[in-house]
Structure 1
Amino acid sequence: MLRPRPPLPPRARPLVVAHRGASLVEPEHTLRAMQRALDDGADGLECDIRLSRDQHPVCFHDVDLDRTSDGEGLLYRRTLAELDRLDYGEGPGILTLRRVAELCRDAPRPVGLLVETKHPSRWAWRVERRVVEVLRDVLGRDLAGLPFLAGMSFSPLAVRRLAALAPGLTRVRLRSHRAPIPQLSTSQAVGLDLRLVLADPTVVADCHRLGQQVFVWTVNTPQDMRTCTRLGVDGLITDDPATAREVLDDLVGPDGTPSARP
């Protein structure tokens, strides 16, 4: 039985989280995209994780290589060395979870990290195990040092695995449809599809009443950024962190008070 958490108040200024890096202007899941997101003022980075054939967590969304690299076929059939020989839009070399975690750890200002494990996967439970191992190796066993760090998945089983492997890691259940309220309470936070939030804005307040943080993806237009901010969401996951920062600066000051800009 889960203990109820205290309700969360609406957040005046949501976090800006770069979806696969600043993927509107740079190739997704590349070091260049991640660095551009930091240069554009993102509060955190988001990445999707799959395992190579030799069990290295790499940043990649699709099950196959065709869309975002010059390779083809299923990613899980390639070793890290083989994946490193492919071009993902900035030259050879695939971005690894280790490199992204190091980038966040070593940034000159506090930067958070959201890690989504992709399922179904050929490697099943090994995905979460390897993610936690790498994060602990880079960030320390207590996973401290970043302003926020979360593991995310559409799979409820993956979220439960993260809870077992790393109780201190914030766990985010991703949803693209409205779930019954009891089901919404099975994680510490939720990641909601923007389309769900626009169709039913009350879902944000319902999640806050359950003591959950609310991240929304993929929020790319100024109008949607303003709508989500007024609803009090905790994080905007966006391909365009530069625009998100501009919109938020127009709406809310850094201290959370309404901006004095006209």
Structure 2
Amino acid sequence: MTMSRLAKFPLITAHTGCMGYPEHSLESVQAAMSLGADVYEDDIRATCDGVAVLAHDNEVRLADGQNINIATMSTRELDEAILQADPSLADSPLEPFPRAEALMRVVKNARAKMNLDIKTDASLKPVFDLIVKLGMQEHAFLSGCGYETAAEALRLQNRLGLVIHKLLNVDASSFKRMNYDEAVAMACEHALETKCFGLNAPYHLVQPVFLEEAAAHGLDVYVWTLEKASDMRKMAEMGVASITTRDPATLIAVKNEWETARDS
């Protein structure tokens, strides 16, 4: 496909754990920001005392083999358990169990955007509070929201009088239950109902008709998670709004090639 001279390259979203650094780490977000990523994505859960923390799963295995349950523990209890399992973490620049706030501050200072991948509805209120506290209403957005979570987020933001930007996570299983066009139409309908600004989809689900239908409804399309340069080029040429990757350096190289070709 020939690249349009007017085409804009997708936003570069760095996935947590990018460039080989540990997930939910300061090193990962710093690497992404130093490379020039537009967006940084991390997974958000909440403790029982209502603090937004970084974790993909609710159950976490510690260095000593113990399993802990994030939702049933306070931040103090989490920190104590982490340090008991691995006392060396006492020297970490972050709290023993990573908080969302610390990484959000790094992203804000870099003038990038934070993609808050919501893993549980219990994290919505703590995340809203953080977005307001840090003044990041235009520099943070929610992802990971299926239809029900997006609807709950909308109810909460209306109750609090807030404008919180969010993506609707596409229900991948709907593409197995329904024909492709129907699944895309349903995703767009759900996004509009819940006032999402776009759709967040596994890249392999995205075809031209997906993008056309989304554009017809004024919805952006964000895709995840790509590692091959060839797939990155394909998605960029199709016109997605953002590409998520654990290898932002490769995506930046693809962007540089794109811009050279566009300007030649």
Distance 1:180-1:201 versus aligned 2 partners, 3 A rule: closer
Matched to 2:112, the amino acid is: V
Deviation of residue 96 (structure 1)?
A: 1.3
Taking the aligned partners of 1:201 and 1:209, their CA distance within structure 2 comes to 12
Answer with 60-69 or 151-160: which moved more: 60-69
**Is structure 2 residue 146 aligned with structure 1 residue 151?**
no
Q: Match of 2:98? A: 95
Deviation of residue 233 (structure 1)?
A: 0.5
Query: Aligned to 1:136, which of 119, 125, 132?
Result: 132
Distance 1:176-1:71 versus aligned 2 partners, 3 A rule: farther
**Contact in 1 for aligned 2:43/2:56 (Cα 8 Å):** yes
**Contact in 2 for aligned 1:54/1:80 (Cα 8 Å):** yes
Answer with 29-38 or 182-191: which moved more: 182-191
Q: Match of 1:117? A: 118
Q: Which structure 2 segments of 5+ residues have no match?
A: 1-5, 91-95, 176-182
Taking the aligned partners of 1:153 and 1:69, their CA distance within structure 2 comes to 30
Deviation of residue 14 (structure 1)?
A: 0.4
**Contact in 2 for aligned 1:249/1:259 (Cα 8 Å):** no
Taking the aligned partners of 1:131 and 1:69, their CA distance within structure 2 comes to 30
Matched to 2:126, the amino acid is: R
Matched to 2:23, the amino acid is: E
Distance 1:42-1:180 versus aligned 2 partners, 3 A rule: closer
Deviation of residue 26 (structure 1)?
A: 0.2
Under a length normalisation based on structure 2, what TM-score does the superposition of the two structures give? 0.78
Structure with bigger gyration radius: 2
Deviation of residue 165 (structure 1)?
A: 3.4
Deviation of residue 202 (structure 1)?
A: 2.5
Report the secondary structure of 2:42's partner residue: strand
Q: Match of 1:184? A: 188
Report the secondary structure of 1:139's partner residue: coil
Matched to 1:132, the amino acid is: F
Query: Aligned to 1:238, which of 236, 245, 254?
Result: 245
Deviation sequence 1:37-68 (CA, Å, 0-9, x none): 11122111111111112221101111211289
Report the secondary structure of 2:21's partner residue: coil
Distance 1:41-1:67 versus aligned 2 partners, 3 A rule: farther
Q: Match of 1:79? A: 74
Q: Match of 1:14? A: 10
Under a length normalisation based on structure 1, what TM-score does the superposition of the two structures give? 0.79
Larger helix proportion of the pair = 2
Deviation sequence 1:122-163 (CA, Å, 0-9, x none): xx4x321111011111116xx24x3xx211234212212322
RMSD (Å) for aligned C-alpha atoms: 2.7
Q: Match of 1:224? A: 231
Report the secondary structure of 1:17's partner residue: strand
Taking the aligned partners of 1:101 and 1:27, their CA distance within structure 2 comes to 17
**Is structure 2 residue 55 aligned with structure 1 residue 60?**
yes
Aligned residues: 233
Answer with 53-62 or 79-88: which moved more: 79-88
Report the secondary structure of 2:201's partner residue: strand
Deviation of residue 71 (structure 1)?
A: 4.8
Q: Which structure 1 segments of 5+ residues have no match?
A: 1-9
Matched to 2:253, the amino acid is: E
**Contact in 2 for aligned 1:21/1:45 (Cα 8 Å):** no
Report the secondary structure of 2:262's partner residue: coil
Deviation of residue 12 (structure 1)?
A: 2.1
**Contact in 2 for aligned 1:175/1:191 (Cα 8 Å):** yes
Query: Aligned to 1:42, which of 30, 37, 40?
Result: 37
**Contact in 1 for aligned 2:187/2:199 (Cα 8 Å):** no
Query: Aligned to 1:164, which of 148, 155, 168?
Result: 155
- The runs of at least 4 aligned residues of structure 1 exceeding 6 Å deviation read 67-70, 87-90
